[in-house]
Amino acid sequence: MSIRTKRLGEVLRRDLGEIIQRNYQPQGVFITVTKVTMTDDLSIAKVYLSVFAPGRDEQVIYQHLDDHVSDIRHTLAGKIRNQVRKIPELHFYVDDTAEYVNKIEKLFKKVEEQPKAPTEDKD
């Protein structure tokens, strides 16, 4: 990944986070853009989202964003039109980093709770 793709990914992360939170975030839901990765030709942006929606189905929220992807892209174009030649396609993905961290922490706790095997003294 080049410096240009990383920089553009960070610009998109910041701008998309703002756009989604202002215009496309349902009431009682908190959506965070955690990461944006770009293809080398800058034509596709993979947008990773963390959704906090107590008591709601997250798939409905992702579907809502997918339904409005052209509007989101149009709003984004207004913000970054001087920085790129072509506005990238947006693909939304679930950011499962928090789930992964929780799984690893549970594994560490299991290891800590297991009784230690006695060590043998060799004389």
Q: Are 21 and 13 in contact (CB under 8 A)?
A: no
Mean of pLDDT values over 37-48: 93
The token pair that represents 96 in the structure block: 């499962």
Residue 22 CA to residue 11 CA, distance in Å, equals 17
For 85-108, what is each residue's pLDDT tens digit? 899 999 999 888 777 777 888 888
In terms of average pLDDT, the best of 24-33, 70-79, 113-122 is: 70-79
Q: Are 88 and 44 in contact (CB under 8 A)?
A: yes
Average per-residue pLDDT for the chain? 87
How high is the pLDDT of residue 35? 93
The token pair that represents 50 in the structure block: 């963390």
Q: Are 29 and 52 in contact (CB under 8 A)?
A: yes
On the question of pLDDT at 122 being above 80, the answer is no
| CATH topology for the 3-113 domain | GMP Synthetase; Chain A, domain 3 (3.30.300)
Q: Which of 98, 11, 100 is nearest to 52 (CA)?
A: 98
For 9-38, what is each residue's pLDDT tens digit? 999 999 999 999 998 888 888 999 999 999
Residue 12 CA to residue 43 CA, distance in Å, equals 13
The token pair that represents 52 in the structure block: 């906090």
